[in-house]
Structure 1
Amino acid sequence: MKGNVTVKTLAKELNISIATVSKALNDSYEISIDTKQKVWDLAKKLKYERNPAASNLRSHKTKTIAVIIPEIANNFFSLAINGIEEIARKRDYHVLIYQTHENSETEITFTDSLLSGRVDGILISVSSNTENYEHFKELVKKIPVVFFDRTIEDIDAVKITTDDYESAYNAAYHLIGNGCKNIAYLHALDNLSTGQKRLSGYRDALSAHNLPANPDLIISYDKDTEKNYDNIKQLIVLQKPDGIISSIEEFALPCYYVCKELGLNIPHDLKIISFSNLSTAPLLSPSLSTITQPAFEIGKEAAGFLFKILDKKHFEPDEVPTLKSTLIQRESSLDKNKSPGIHLGFHYQLNLNV
């Protein structure tokens, strides 16, 4: 019967409707396990072969999802995409990658074009210079959307994030525990809740330890790499911080270069810790202490919830997790005269490998 077996054939053999067979073959939550098993067993016995193209046309599905990210070269987003693709492959879905290059106009162009029916759903990490969110408010009304990592608070959509406030707070606490009293903060993602939470965590940690919150110790990220370098240099020369928290990994290496130019020793003169998924962090000299996000797991969770929405499966808001980052102590932030390993109440590692 191979080649002649259709959904109609299976329905007739089992004395059930064609719609029930179709839903069972698609593993729909509407169909009982017993019925699904009967359909699957008969399909296997009769060597039923699905026609993906016809199935997609009938269901109006493209079997494709889009991922909109700021930059694929960023280590975090590369890992997140791997997690997304792992889930998508299990569902026989294709993944289209769109890079905004931190440009909100490009972001709007992508979201507008994807409303044409090209994809079944969208995963988005928001561009850092996005200030007007109206296109997102309209987007979530028309197509399933899940935000990950960089999100917008007042958008009614699933958001998969990490503990940004707690992570920044613990980074400051780590530096304080290693003797720092004049801690600078390299601020980025100003327009997004991600950046705002990290900044709040830093400020609250200083306040909790009776350290002054000097606004001159905070500088903001600039697209111009030379300007970033000059700003960091000026900060170190004028404010003389003994510790630095970098809120993004793009700030970390310029700190090393500035210290080299100024003849400063890391960590003796200046301790540094950075939010980063940089794979070479252990290889820097000295090795870089990092707040490392679970990027792969974030990608998997984001894709998983997008497919729950596509499958119309119900879930409660409290089922959406906030993932934990890992503070990895390396040489750049440690006082060598003190014993390392202060427990900060979250995933915490000591790694002195270089």
Structure 2
Amino acid sequence: MRQNVTVKTLAKELNISIATVSKALNDSYEISIDTKQKVLELAKKLKYERNPAASNLRSQKTKTIAVIIPQIANNFFSLAINGIEEIARKRGYHVLIYLTHEDSETETAFTESLLSGRVDGILISVSSSTENLEHFRELVKKIPVVFFDRSIEDIDAIKITADDYESTYDATVHLINNGCKKIAYLYALNCLITGKRRIAGYRDALKDHQLESGENLIVNHNSDEDLNYTNIKNLIINEKPDGVISSIEELALPCYYVCNELGLNIPNDLKIISFSNLSTAPLLKPSLSTITQPAFEIGREAAGFLFKILDKKPFDADEIPKLKSILIKRDSTGPL
């Protein structure tokens, strides 16, 4: 009686994982040509035969993708979702949206539940408290994942982001050109490469223009809104900066409130610029200068690359874009 040769048999003989054998048999772009050849040669030698029913079951698509985001109130994510849905709709896919509320444990629970086969792939903008790199290293091995906007540095996955370093550098130079000599920074997303690139742009711009920098001019974002307000107020009273860069829009409005409480004039006493996609930014008094990210385009590109992975289409790293933000100069930073 002939021994039944399975994928497990091939994996054991070659001392590789069952997943690798399966991907090689399905001609996945993730597997090297050398490994594919070894698998196919052994399969032929041992007279391996596919199980059509099992193969069909494994290849069945849910026609659904998941989008995991930290919040919905932020206008950036609303625009990004619109971009994602435009691409998904053209492909006949449904989009499931999951909100983590900036909680890394909720984020982990969502991703674990999605591994059950509920979706074909995941688009994720990680929460600001995310530090569990090992979880994401394992996740990208199990299901197609594309990160957008907020990403983690040491993860082997596609990341669709904007020019965080360059745009913060340019915003700092804009304040300098408008007369600022002492520029403070409101630091958020400090666990993520996104936040690290932004503050690096700020620091390098100050260094290149021989201006003061230091931890005394940096306020770290806190989940407690009242504490953010107090910390910003103390910064302005004690350090007396003449310019402020906010790395997220949630920290920009407290600057307005603090200035109102202290009787400071924006932009004469303090100039303010913030990363923001707020549609109301032009309506603030004074109107808020912003670093506005191409949120819709980021969503479209992220979805497009996820579908390339699902379609097993090869692509080069050079094809992955870094999209350009727009520095919109308004009244909060003074004369244009």
TM-score by length of 2: 0.83
Q: What is the CA distance between 1:134 and its match in structure 2?
A: 1.2
* Secondary structure, counterpart of 1:171 in structure 2: helix
Distance in 1, matches of 2:214 and 2:72, equals 35
Q: What is the CA distance between 1:57 and its match in structure 2?
A: 6.1
* Secondary structure, counterpart of 1:226 in structure 2: helix
Equivalent residue number for residue 299 of structure 1: 299
Equivalent residue number for residue 243 of structure 1: 243
Distance in 2, matches of 1:92 and 1:72, equals 24
Give 1:141's aligned amino acid. K
* Secondary structure, counterpart of 2:185 in structure 1: strand
Distance in 2, matches of 1:133 and 1:70, equals 17
Q: Does 1:214 align with 2:219?
A: no
Q: What is the CA distance between 1:58 and its match in structure 2?
A: 8.1
Equivalent residue number for residue 82 of structure 1: 82
Equivalent residue number for residue 38 of structure 2: none
Deviation string for 1:180-231 (max 9, x for gaps)? 0000000000100000000000000000000021210001000100000000
Q: What is the CA distance between 1:135 and its match in structure 2?
A: 1.2
Give 2:177's aligned amino acid. G
Give 2:306's aligned amino acid. L
Give 2:94's aligned amino acid. H
- Where structure 2 has 5 or more consecutive residues not aligned to the other structure, the ranges are 1-55
Give 1:118's aligned amino acid. R
Equivalent residue number for residue 187 of structure 1: 187
Equivalent residue number for residue 119 of structure 1: 119
Give the alignment of 1:65-144 within 5 angstroms. 65-144=65-144
Give 2:254's aligned amino acid. P
Q: What is the CA distance between 1:131 and its match in structure 2?
A: 1.0
* Secondary structure, counterpart of 2:128 in structure 1: coil
Q: What is the CA distance between 1:59 and its match in structure 2?
A: 3.8
Equivalent residue number for residue 327 of structure 2: 327
Give 1:206's aligned amino acid. L
Deviation string for 1:139-163 (max 9, x for gaps)? 1001100000000111000000000
Equivalent residue number for residue 227 of structure 1: 227
- Where structure 1 has 5 or more consecutive residues not aligned to the other structure, the ranges are 1-55, 341-354
Distance in 1, matches of 2:73 and 2:98, equals 12
Q: What is the CA distance between 1:270 and its match in structure 2?
A: 0.3
* Secondary structure, counterpart of 1:244 in structure 2: strand
RMSD: 1.0
Give the alignment of 1:137-216 within 5 angstroms. 137-216=137-216
List structure 1 runs of 4+ shifted beyond 4 angstroms. Answer: none
Equivalent residue number for residue 29 of structure 2: none
**317-326 vs 126-135, which deviates more?**
126-135
Distance in 2, matches of 1:134 and 1:58, equals 26
Deviation string for 1:234-277 (max 9, x for gaps)? 00000000000000000010000000000000000000000000
Distance in 1, matches of 2:202 and 2:113, equals 39
* Secondary structure, counterpart of 1:203 in structure 2: helix
Q: Does 1:260 align with 2:260?
A: yes
Distance in 2, matches of 1:194 and 1:59, equals 35
Distance in 2, matches of 1:173 and 1:259, equals 23
Distance in 2, matches of 1:292 and 1:171, equals 11
Distance in 2, matches of 1:127 and 1:273, equals 23
TM-score by length of 1: 0.78
Q: What is the CA distance between 1:297 and its match in structure 2?
A: 0.3
